[in-house]
């Protein structure tokens, strides 16, 4: 148990505040389904707004499902690039196991060029796995696929020309890919959901770590932060940034945020319960996720306070907020982005600039949980 | 030697992922000596064990088996057939594995197992004494909600198996890990503990858990 995960100093100005979206097929304000093509154009508008209110990055997920329109996020990102100047454009996450790293490289190196150096990636698995049967891969090969594809992708990013061979695609011999990437462009993060093996892998490749916290308190991930630091050190890499992804919604008041988000959140989890055998959603669980879990939801002050606390607790350099879960109408998504950019993010930076409060009873430092557990019996 | 006497506090775990390391921590705080293995050589999991379950030993699968009378299977179920069939001869083998298509891919035998996946596991490891348990809560629950014996509001974990002495040993293990223990009956009753079953993924006290399992058994 290393003491540094108690919250090392993070320079508030250097923290990246990103938005993540699954491009949910939304409803309109009267509850009618909105056509998918409109949803996609609406999402471009959401990104343009995010840019104008000072959010640092806009990151699109990858799914192949009727309720999500994010099957070709890079095309949307290119459209957003043409309408913005500053915001970084990325993925959350690229399901690398079922993609060809050569194609990932060419798409995103091109996006980097058209956006003047604003492209970024998170590669990982995501919690839904429909891309495996769709593209003819066996989920049981997940580990081997991800390892091999990450190996090729990092080679393409770092040392072209590449001579490479593997088992899932034809070999490459002295291969150059266009367009070339300027040094340091296309930062590529590894998304992990709690598996220590995945944390070790990110460290082995010397890639920054993105923790996906989609249920329960983030302090659970403190031991993984320690593991990542130890592993980076063991592999001879300098310290690298650590980020986190969680869901949420912000409105004028806590009650309003709960009232807007709850039915759509419940809808998603009812679907998951029916399809995947998960526990059915309850208001109690929703409230627990808000109070002491993975939902960053409420008034700007509530959300900012919670984000600042987790950034300190885990020593984060990036916080990606999956705004508005489920079929939330475009108008409400816009409103939440506006509040997030204009009020939440500046407030988080302000809170982080203050000296850390001495551990109050409510915010026990992360690693003592493990310690406390070990003396409990 | 497959002693599971009241004084034996040794535990072997196959799989050093989320579940394996979490159970290892819980067991160590209950005074157990814990040995873990992964799919490769011990060096590959040494750092993980050192950081996530300090005090436990990273060893080979053979050494895990030699180290204790109770062994927990905490590897992805789509990989259990990689383990030699007679590896666990005479051991109490706690099957904590769940079959999830989203993680394990399509596996007809497991997807359709009419008596539950643990019966398939018992068929493969026919010389082991298989008990289905520790599978129906999320791994983090082992961290956050375990409580000493006698504390009000303690959460319960069920165990199902045909070898009654093995079940008794696992019930004792559950209690020491910090949960009330519920005997779910024969191994095929483990079907009720699987994903899609009536108790999966929800925290229940012992009374509630027994009732749900009883209702399931009498409706079957
Ligand atoms: N996660 C939960 O909340 C939870 C709860 C209850 C039950 N379970 C069950 O527990 C099992 C493990 O889940 P997890 O979430 O811990 O997965 P995980 O984090 O992916 O860990 C899986 C572990 O299994 C190891 N492994 C793979 N093949 C192996 C082999 N042939 N021999 C020995 N070890 C092997 C892996 O080691 P290498 O990296 O060395 O291959 C890895 O350490 C699954 O069956 C799951 O259904 C999980």
Task: Sort out which chain A residues have CB atoms less than 8 A from B106's CB and list them.
Answer: 139
Q: Which helix (H) or strand (E) holds B93?
A: strand B92-95
- Cβ of B146 within 8 Å of Cβ of A373? The answer is yes
Centre a 10 Å sphere on the Cβ of residue A97 and count the other Cβ atoms it contains: 26
CA distance B215 to B220: 9
Closest CA to A129 of B182, B101, B126: B101
Residue B60 CB less than 6 A away from ligand 1: no
| pLDDT of chain A, 377 residues: tens digit per residue | 343 444 456 688 899 999 999 999 999 999 999 999 999 999 999 999 999 999 999 999 999 999 999 999 999 999 999 999 999 999 999 999 999 999 999 999 999 999 999 999 999 987 788 999 999 999 989 999 999 999 999 999 999 999 999 999 999 999 999 999 999 999 999 999 999 999 999 999 999 999 999 989 999 999 999 999 999 999 999 999 999 999 999 999 999 999 999 999 999 989 888 877 677 899 999 999 999 999 999 999 999 999 999 999 999 999 999 999 999 999 999 999 999 999 999 999 999 999 877 655 444 433 333 333 332 22
Centre a 10 Å sphere on the Cβ of residue A9 and count the other Cβ atoms it contains: 9
Q: Coil, helix or strand for B9?
A: coil
pTM of the model: 0.93
Task: Sort out which chain B residues have CB atoms less than 8 A from A139's CB and list them.
Answer: 101-106
Residue B40 Cα to ligand 1 midpoint, Å, equals: 13
CA distance B168 to B43: 34
Domains of chain B: 2-219 (3.40.50.720)
- Cβ of A376 within 8 Å of Cβ of B101? The answer is no
- Provide the shortest C-alpha distance from residue A203 to chain B (in Å): 12
Nearest residue (by CA) to ligand 1, atom 29, is B39
- Cβ of A140 within 8 Å of Cβ of B178? The answer is no
3-state secondary structure A45-66: HHHHHHHHCCCCEEEECCCCCC
Task: Sort out which chain B residues have CB atoms less than 8 A from A196's CB and list them.
Answer: 16-18, 21, 48, 52
CA distance B68 to B81: 21
Q: With left for phi above 0 and alpha for psi between -120 and 50, is residue A223 left, alpha or beta?
A: alpha
Could you read off the pLDDT of B160-209 as tens digits, one per residue? Answer: 999 999 999 999 999 999 999 999 999 999 999 999 899 998 899 999 99
Longest Cα separation, chain B: 49
- The count of CB pairs under 8 A between chains A and B is 92
Residue A115 Cα to ligand 1 midpoint, Å, equals: 41
User: Contact A348/A12 with Cβ under 8 angstroms?
Assistant: yes
Could you read off the pLDDT of B26-73 as tens digits, one per residue? Answer: 999 999 999 999 999 999 999 999 999 999 999 999 999 999 999 999
ipTM entry: 0.92
Domains of chain A: 12-361 (3.20.20.30)
SS3 content of chain B, % helix, strand, coil (to 5): 40, 20, 40
CA distance A289 to A216: 6
Residue from B19, B20, B80, B82 to probe ligand 1 pocket by mutation (most atoms less than 8 Å from CB): B19
Residue from B15, B97, B144 to probe ligand 1 pocket by mutation (most atoms less than 8 Å from CB): B15
User: In whole angstroms, how far apart are CA A108 and each of A78, A364, B154?
Assistant: 10, 41, 51
CA distance A148 to A166: 7
Measured from the Cα of B77, ligand 1's closest atom is: 45
């Amino acid at each position: 148990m290393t003491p540094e995960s108690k919250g090392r100093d993070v320079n508030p100005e250097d923290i990246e505040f990103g938005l993540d979206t699954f491009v949910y097929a939304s409803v309109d304000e009267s509850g009618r389904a909105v056509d998918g093509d409109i949803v996609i154009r609406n999402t471009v508008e959401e990104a343009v707004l995010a840019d104008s209110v000072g959010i640092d990055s806009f990151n699109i997920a990858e799914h192949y499902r009727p309720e999500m329109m994010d099957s070709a996020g890079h095309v949307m990102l290119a459209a957003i690039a043409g309408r913005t100047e500053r915001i970084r454009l990325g993925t959350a996450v690229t399901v690398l196991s079922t993609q060809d790293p050569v194609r990932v490289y060419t798409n995103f190196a091109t996006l980097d060029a058209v956006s003047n150096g604003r492209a970024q990636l998170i590669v990982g698995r995501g919690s839904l796995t429909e891309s495996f049967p769709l593209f003819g891969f066996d989920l049981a090969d997940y580990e081997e696929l991800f390892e091999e594809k990450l190996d090729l992708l990092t080679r393409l990013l770092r040392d072209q020309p590449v001579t490479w061979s593997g088992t899932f695609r034809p070999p490459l011999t002295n291969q150059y890919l266009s367009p070339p990437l300027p040094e340091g462009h296309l930062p590529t993060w590894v998304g992990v959901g709690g598996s220590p093996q995945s944390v070790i892998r990110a460290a082995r490749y010397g890639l920054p770590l993105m923790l996906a916290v989609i249920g329960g308190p983030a302090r659970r991930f403190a031991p993984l932060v320690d593991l990542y630091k130890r592993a980076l050190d063991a592999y001879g890499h300098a310290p690298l940034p650590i980020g986190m992804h969680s869901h949420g919604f912000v409105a004028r008041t806590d009650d309003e945020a709960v009232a807007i988000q709850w039915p759509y959140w419940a809808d998603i989890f009812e679907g998951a319960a029916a399809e995947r055998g998960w526990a059915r959603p309850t208001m109690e669980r929703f409230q627990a996720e808000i109070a002491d879990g993975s939902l960053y939801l409420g008034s700007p002050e509530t959300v900012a306070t919670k984000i600042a606390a987790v950034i300190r607790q885990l020593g984060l350099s990036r916080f990606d907020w999956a705004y508005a879960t489920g079929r939330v109408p475009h108008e409400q998504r816009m409103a939440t982005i506006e509040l997030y950019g204009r009020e939440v993010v500046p407030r988080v930076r302000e809170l982080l600039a203050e000296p850390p409060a001495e551990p109050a009873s409510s915010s026990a430092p992360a690693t003592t949980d493990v310690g406390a557990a070990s003396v409990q019996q | 030697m497959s002693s599971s006497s009241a004084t034996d506090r040794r535990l072997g775990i196959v799989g050093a992922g989320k579940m394996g390391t979490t159970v290892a921590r819980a067991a160590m705080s209950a005074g157990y000596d814990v040995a873990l293995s992964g799919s490769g050589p011990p060096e590959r999991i040494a750092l993980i064990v050192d950081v996530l379950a300090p005090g436990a030993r990273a060893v080979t699968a053979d050494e895990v088996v030699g180290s204790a009378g109770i062994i927990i299977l905490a590897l992805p179920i789509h990989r259990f057939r990689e383990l030699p069939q007679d590896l666990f001869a005479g051991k109490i083998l706690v099957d904590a594995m769940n079959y999830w298509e989203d993680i394990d891919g399509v596996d007809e035998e497991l997807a359709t197992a009419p008596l539950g996946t643990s019966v398939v596991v018992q068929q493969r490891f026919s010389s082991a004494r298989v008990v289905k348990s520790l599978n129906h809560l999320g791994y983090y629950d082992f961290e956050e909600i375990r409580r000493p014996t006698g504390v009000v509001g303690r959460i319960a974990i069920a165990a199902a198996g045909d070898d009654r002495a093995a079940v008794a040993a696992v019930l004792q293990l559950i209690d020491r890990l910090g949960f009330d223990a519920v005997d779910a009956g024969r191994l095929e009753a483990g079907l009720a503990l699987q994903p899609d079953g009536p108790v999966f993924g929800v925290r229940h006290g012992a009374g509630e858990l027994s009732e749900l399992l009883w209702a399931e058994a009498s409706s079957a």
